[in-house]
Amino acid sequence: MLDKSKVKLGIAPIGWTNDDLPELGKENTFEQCVSEMALAGFTGSEVGNKYPKDPVVLKQYLDIRGMEICNQWFSCFLITRPFAEVEKAFRTQLEFLRAVGAKVIGVSEQSYSTQGKQNVAIFGDKYVMNEEEWTIFCAGMNQLGKIAITEYGIYLTFHHHMGTVVENAAEVERMMAHTDPQYVHLLFDTGHFAYCGEDPLEMVQKYASRIKHVHLKDIRQEVVAQAKVEGWSFLESVRKGAFTVPGDGSLDFAPIFAVLAQSNYAGYMVVEAEQDPAVANPFVYAVKARTFIGEKTGL
Protein backbone atom coordinates (compact mmCIF):
# COMPACT_ATOMS: atom_id res chain seq x y z
CA MET A 1 0.00 0.00 0.00
CA LEU A 2 1.08 3.57 -0.58
CA ASP A 3 2.46 5.40 2.45
CA LYS A 4 -0.05 7.92 3.81
CA SER A 5 2.77 9.93 5.34
CA LYS A 6 4.47 10.38 1.95
CA VAL A 7 1.70 10.44 -0.65
CA LYS A 8 -0.94 13.15 -0.98
CA LEU A 9 -3.96 13.34 -3.24
CA GLY A 10 -4.76 16.29 -5.46
CA ILE A 11 -7.10 17.09 -8.30
CA ALA A 12 -6.78 19.43 -11.28
CA PRO A 13 -9.33 22.19 -11.94
CA ILE A 14 -9.59 21.16 -15.58
CA GLY A 15 -12.67 19.06 -14.76
CA TRP A 16 -14.44 22.26 -13.67
CA THR A 17 -12.98 24.83 -16.05
CA ASN A 18 -10.97 23.86 -19.12
CA ASP A 19 -8.00 26.11 -19.96
CA ASP A 20 -7.75 24.86 -23.55
CA LEU A 21 -11.52 25.00 -24.16
CA PRO A 22 -12.68 27.95 -22.01
CA GLU A 23 -16.30 27.42 -23.05
CA LEU A 24 -16.25 24.16 -21.11
CA GLY A 25 -17.12 25.13 -17.57
CA LYS A 26 -17.26 28.86 -18.20
CA GLU A 27 -20.15 28.98 -15.72
CA ASN A 28 -18.10 27.42 -12.91
CA THR A 29 -16.31 29.78 -10.51
CA PHE A 30 -12.93 29.41 -8.87
CA GLU A 31 -14.60 29.39 -5.44
CA GLN A 32 -16.94 26.55 -6.45
CA CYS A 33 -14.02 24.61 -7.89
CA VAL A 34 -11.76 24.69 -4.82
CA SER A 35 -14.66 24.21 -2.41
CA GLU A 36 -15.83 21.08 -4.21
CA MET A 37 -12.26 19.76 -4.40
CA ALA A 38 -11.97 20.04 -0.63
CA LEU A 39 -15.43 18.56 -0.03
CA ALA A 40 -14.50 15.58 -2.22
CA GLY A 41 -11.51 14.86 0.03
CA PHE A 42 -8.52 16.28 -1.85
CA THR A 43 -5.77 18.41 -0.31
CA GLY A 44 -3.87 19.49 -3.43
CA SER A 45 -4.79 21.46 -6.53
CA GLU A 46 -3.03 22.43 -9.69
CA VAL A 47 -3.49 25.95 -11.06
CA GLY A 48 -6.33 26.86 -13.41
CA ASN A 49 -7.02 29.94 -15.51
CA LYS A 50 -9.58 31.32 -13.03
CA TYR A 51 -7.26 31.11 -10.02
CA PRO A 52 -6.14 34.39 -8.41
CA LYS A 53 -2.78 35.55 -9.77
CA ASP A 54 -1.77 37.03 -6.42
CA PRO A 55 -0.19 34.23 -4.35
CA VAL A 56 -1.30 35.84 -1.08
CA VAL A 57 -4.92 35.94 -2.18
CA LEU A 58 -4.75 32.41 -3.60
CA LYS A 59 -3.30 31.01 -0.38
CA GLN A 60 -6.09 32.61 1.64
CA TYR A 61 -8.70 30.77 -0.40
CA LEU A 62 -6.82 27.48 -0.18
CA ASP A 63 -5.68 27.62 3.45
CA ILE A 64 -9.20 27.95 4.79
CA ARG A 65 -10.13 24.82 2.85
CA GLY A 66 -7.10 22.83 3.98
CA MET A 67 -5.66 22.80 0.48
CA GLU A 68 -2.41 23.74 -1.26
CA ILE A 69 -1.02 24.17 -4.77
CA CYS A 70 0.93 21.09 -5.79
CA ASN A 71 1.93 21.89 -9.39
CA GLN A 72 1.42 24.24 -12.31
CA TRP A 73 1.74 23.64 -16.04
CA PHE A 74 4.55 25.52 -17.81
CA SER A 75 4.59 25.82 -21.60
CA CYS A 76 8.20 25.54 -22.78
CA PHE A 77 9.56 26.53 -26.21
CA LEU A 78 13.17 25.45 -26.00
CA ILE A 79 13.58 24.51 -29.66
CA THR A 80 11.85 27.56 -31.17
CA ARG A 81 12.69 30.48 -28.86
CA PRO A 82 15.90 31.86 -27.33
CA PHE A 83 16.77 30.18 -24.03
CA ALA A 84 16.87 33.54 -22.24
CA GLU A 85 13.23 34.15 -23.16
CA VAL A 86 12.17 30.72 -21.89
CA GLU A 87 14.22 31.14 -18.71
CA LYS A 88 12.63 34.49 -17.90
CA ALA A 89 9.10 33.09 -18.11
CA PHE A 90 10.18 29.99 -16.19
CA ARG A 91 11.62 32.04 -13.33
CA THR A 92 8.46 34.13 -13.12
CA GLN A 93 6.38 31.00 -12.69
CA LEU A 94 8.84 29.51 -10.20
CA GLU A 95 8.59 32.65 -8.09
CA PHE A 96 4.81 32.32 -8.00
CA LEU A 97 4.99 28.62 -7.12
CA ARG A 98 7.52 29.23 -4.37
CA ALA A 99 5.25 31.93 -2.94
CA VAL A 100 2.34 29.49 -2.70
CA GLY A 101 4.51 26.68 -1.31
CA ALA A 102 4.50 24.31 -4.29
CA LYS A 103 7.35 21.82 -4.74
CA VAL A 104 6.77 20.83 -8.38
CA ILE A 105 6.50 22.52 -11.76
CA GLY A 106 5.13 20.55 -14.71
CA VAL A 107 6.93 21.39 -17.95
CA SER A 108 5.72 20.56 -21.46
CA GLU A 109 7.63 21.40 -24.66
CA GLN A 110 5.01 23.20 -26.73
CA SER A 111 7.03 23.99 -29.85
CA TYR A 112 5.02 22.71 -32.83
CA SER A 113 2.38 21.26 -30.50
CA THR A 114 -0.95 20.26 -32.03
CA GLN A 115 -2.76 19.59 -28.75
CA GLY A 116 -4.62 22.90 -28.86
CA LYS A 117 -5.37 22.95 -32.61
CA GLN A 118 -8.99 22.08 -33.19
CA ASN A 119 -8.57 21.41 -36.92
CA VAL A 120 -5.60 19.02 -36.67
CA ALA A 121 -6.06 15.27 -36.14
CA ILE A 122 -4.34 14.13 -32.97
CA PHE A 123 -3.30 10.90 -34.67
CA GLY A 124 -2.15 12.74 -37.78
CA ASP A 125 1.34 13.98 -38.60
CA LYS A 126 3.24 14.98 -35.46
CA TYR A 127 6.38 17.06 -35.46
CA VAL A 128 9.53 15.01 -34.91
CA MET A 129 12.61 16.72 -33.54
CA ASN A 130 15.84 16.46 -35.53
CA GLU A 131 19.23 15.71 -33.95
CA GLU A 132 20.09 19.36 -33.33
CA GLU A 133 16.70 20.03 -31.75
CA TRP A 134 17.05 17.03 -29.44
CA THR A 135 20.42 18.35 -28.27
CA ILE A 136 19.00 21.84 -27.64
CA PHE A 137 15.93 20.42 -25.91
CA CYS A 138 17.75 18.09 -23.53
CA ALA A 139 20.41 20.67 -22.66
CA GLY A 140 17.70 23.24 -22.00
CA MET A 141 15.78 20.84 -19.77
CA ASN A 142 18.91 20.25 -17.71
CA GLN A 143 19.48 23.99 -17.34
CA LEU A 144 15.89 24.69 -16.33
CA GLY A 145 15.84 21.76 -13.93
CA LYS A 146 19.02 22.95 -12.26
CA ILE A 147 17.61 26.47 -11.85
CA ALA A 148 14.37 25.11 -10.40
CA ILE A 149 15.84 22.87 -7.71
CA THR A 150 19.00 24.78 -6.76
CA GLU A 151 17.53 28.29 -6.69
CA TYR A 152 13.86 27.71 -5.85
CA GLY A 153 13.69 24.28 -4.20
CA ILE A 154 11.19 23.12 -6.84
CA TYR A 155 11.41 19.94 -8.91
CA LEU A 156 11.09 20.13 -12.68
CA THR A 157 8.83 17.30 -13.82
CA PHE A 158 8.39 16.76 -17.54
CA HIS A 159 4.84 16.22 -18.78
CA HIS A 160 4.71 13.94 -21.84
CA HIS A 161 1.55 14.91 -23.73
CA MET A 162 -0.46 14.02 -26.82
CA GLY A 163 0.33 16.20 -29.81
CA THR A 164 3.75 17.31 -28.56
CA VAL A 165 7.34 16.47 -29.50
CA VAL A 166 7.64 14.18 -26.46
CA GLU A 167 4.54 12.01 -26.58
CA ASN A 168 5.35 8.31 -26.91
CA ALA A 169 7.60 5.78 -25.18
CA ALA A 170 10.53 6.20 -27.58
CA GLU A 171 10.52 9.98 -27.18
CA VAL A 172 10.25 9.78 -23.40
CA GLU A 173 13.08 7.24 -23.35
CA ARG A 174 15.35 9.49 -25.40
CA MET A 175 14.63 12.47 -23.16
CA MET A 176 15.23 10.48 -19.99
CA ALA A 177 18.46 9.01 -21.36
CA HIS A 178 19.89 12.41 -22.27
CA THR A 179 18.90 14.47 -19.24
CA ASP A 180 20.36 14.57 -15.75
CA PRO A 181 18.34 12.60 -13.15
CA GLN A 182 19.28 15.24 -10.58
CA TYR A 183 17.48 17.95 -12.50
CA VAL A 184 14.87 16.39 -14.81
CA HIS A 185 12.11 14.20 -13.40
CA LEU A 186 9.04 12.64 -14.95
CA LEU A 187 5.44 13.70 -14.56
CA PHE A 188 3.91 10.27 -15.13
CA ASP A 189 0.50 10.58 -16.80
CA THR A 190 -1.46 7.33 -17.10
CA GLY A 191 -3.95 8.74 -19.58
CA HIS A 192 -1.51 10.23 -22.06
CA PHE A 193 0.57 7.07 -22.23
CA ALA A 194 -2.56 4.98 -22.77
CA TYR A 195 -4.01 7.39 -25.33
CA CYS A 196 -0.97 7.18 -27.61
CA GLY A 197 -0.95 3.38 -27.39
CA GLU A 198 1.71 2.83 -24.74
CA ASP A 199 1.26 0.64 -21.64
CA PRO A 200 1.17 2.85 -18.52
CA LEU A 201 2.20 -0.13 -16.37
CA GLU A 202 5.36 -0.70 -18.42
CA MET A 203 6.15 3.00 -18.24
CA VAL A 204 5.77 3.27 -14.47
CA GLN A 205 7.88 0.14 -14.01
CA LYS A 206 10.61 1.61 -16.20
CA TYR A 207 10.74 5.11 -14.74
CA ALA A 208 9.58 4.70 -11.14
CA SER A 209 12.84 6.05 -9.72
CA ARG A 210 12.49 9.35 -11.63
CA ILE A 211 8.79 10.04 -11.11
CA LYS A 212 8.15 13.11 -8.94
CA HIS A 213 4.52 13.80 -9.85
CA VAL A 214 1.64 11.59 -11.01
CA HIS A 215 -1.45 12.37 -13.06
CA LEU A 216 -4.19 9.80 -12.62
CA LYS A 217 -6.26 9.93 -15.78
CA ASP A 218 -8.43 7.15 -17.17
CA ILE A 219 -9.45 6.76 -20.82
CA ARG A 220 -12.52 5.48 -22.58
CA GLN A 221 -10.81 3.24 -25.11
CA GLU A 222 -13.77 3.19 -27.49
CA VAL A 223 -13.72 7.00 -27.73
CA VAL A 224 -9.96 7.05 -28.38
CA ALA A 225 -10.44 4.43 -31.11
CA GLN A 226 -13.15 6.58 -32.68
CA ALA A 227 -10.89 9.62 -32.54
CA LYS A 228 -8.29 7.72 -34.55
CA VAL A 229 -10.78 6.47 -37.15
CA GLU A 230 -12.57 9.78 -37.61
CA GLY A 231 -9.52 12.04 -37.42
CA TRP A 232 -10.58 14.06 -34.41
CA SER A 233 -8.37 16.70 -32.87
CA PHE A 234 -7.22 16.21 -29.30
CA LEU A 235 -9.70 18.78 -28.04
CA GLU A 236 -12.56 17.20 -29.98
CA SER A 237 -11.80 13.89 -28.31
CA VAL A 238 -11.92 15.67 -24.94
CA ARG A 239 -15.35 17.02 -25.81
CA LYS A 240 -16.49 13.54 -26.76
CA GLY A 241 -15.33 11.99 -23.48
CA ALA A 242 -11.97 10.37 -24.25
CA PHE A 243 -10.87 10.97 -20.64
CA THR A 244 -12.48 10.24 -17.31
CA VAL A 245 -11.48 9.76 -13.68
CA PRO A 246 -9.66 6.64 -12.42
CA GLY A 247 -11.96 3.66 -12.12
CA ASP A 248 -14.48 4.93 -14.68
CA GLY A 249 -12.64 3.94 -17.85
CA SER A 250 -10.53 1.22 -19.45
CA LEU A 251 -7.31 1.25 -17.38
CA ASP A 252 -6.34 -1.14 -14.60
CA PHE A 253 -4.86 1.05 -11.87
CA ALA A 254 -4.21 -1.60 -9.22
CA PRO A 255 -0.83 -2.77 -10.62
CA ILE A 256 0.21 0.83 -11.28
CA PHE A 257 -0.48 1.73 -7.65
CA ALA A 258 1.46 -1.37 -6.60
CA VAL A 259 4.58 -0.29 -8.53
CA LEU A 260 4.41 3.21 -7.06
CA ALA A 261 4.11 1.69 -3.58
CA GLN A 262 7.04 -0.69 -4.17
CA SER A 263 9.21 2.21 -5.36
CA ASN A 264 8.34 4.20 -2.20
CA TYR A 265 6.81 6.98 -4.26
CA ALA A 266 6.55 10.25 -2.35
CA GLY A 267 4.61 13.24 -3.60
CA TYR A 268 1.25 14.06 -5.09
CA MET A 269 -1.01 11.84 -7.13
CA VAL A 270 -3.37 14.17 -8.96
CA VAL A 271 -6.66 13.28 -10.61
CA GLU A 272 -6.61 15.07 -13.96
CA ALA A 273 -9.53 14.13 -16.16
CA GLU A 274 -10.78 16.79 -18.54
CA GLN A 275 -14.40 16.31 -19.51
CA ASP A 276 -17.31 18.56 -20.37
CA PRO A 277 -18.63 19.54 -16.92
CA ALA A 278 -22.11 19.96 -18.37
CA VAL A 279 -22.04 16.23 -19.14
CA ALA A 280 -19.81 14.94 -16.33
CA ASN A 281 -20.59 16.83 -13.11
CA PRO A 282 -17.12 17.63 -11.74
CA PHE A 283 -18.04 17.21 -8.07
CA VAL A 284 -19.72 13.86 -8.68
CA TYR A 285 -16.69 12.63 -10.63
CA ALA A 286 -14.27 14.00 -8.03
CA VAL A 287 -16.05 12.00 -5.32
CA LYS A 288 -16.06 8.93 -7.57
CA ALA A 289 -12.30 9.26 -8.11
CA ARG A 290 -11.56 9.84 -4.42
CA THR A 291 -13.60 6.80 -3.43
CA PHE A 292 -11.90 4.60 -6.01
CA ILE A 293 -8.38 5.70 -5.02
CA GLY A 294 -9.16 5.16 -1.36
CA GLU A 295 -10.42 1.64 -2.02
CA LYS A 296 -7.41 0.71 -4.16
CA THR A 297 -4.62 2.35 -2.12
CA GLY A 298 -5.84 2.86 1.42
CA LEU A 299 -5.10 6.58 1.14
- Give the pLDDT confidence score for residue 158 in this predicted structure: 98
Q: Which residues of the chain have pLDDT under 50?
A: none
- Give the pLDDT confidence score for residue 124 in this predicted structure: 87
- Give the pLDDT confidence score for residue 54 in this predicted structure: 98
pTM above 0.95, yes or no: yes
> 3-state DSSP call for residue 57?
helix
Q: If DSSP states are collapsed to H, E and C, what string results for 130-142?
A: CHHHHHHHHHHHH
Burial level of 31, CB count in 10 A (0-12/13-18/19+)? exposed
In angstroms, the CA 222 to CA 234 distance is 15
Residue pair 160/217 in contact (Cβ under 8 Å)? The answer is no
103-153 pLDDT, tens digit per residue, is: 999 999 999 999 999 999 999 889 999 999 999 999 999 999 999 999 999
- Give the pLDDT confidence score for residue 125 in this predicted structure: 83
CA nearest neighbour of 290 among 85, 15, 52, 71? 15
Burial level of 26, CB count in 10 A (0-12/13-18/19+)? exposed
CA nearest neighbour of 263 among 213, 226, 209? 209
Q: Where are the alpha helices (DSSP H) in 101-185?
A: 131-152, 169-177
Within the chain, what is the greatest distance between any pair of CA atoms?
A: 50
212-233 pLDDT, tens digit per residue, is: 999 999 999 999 999 999 999 9
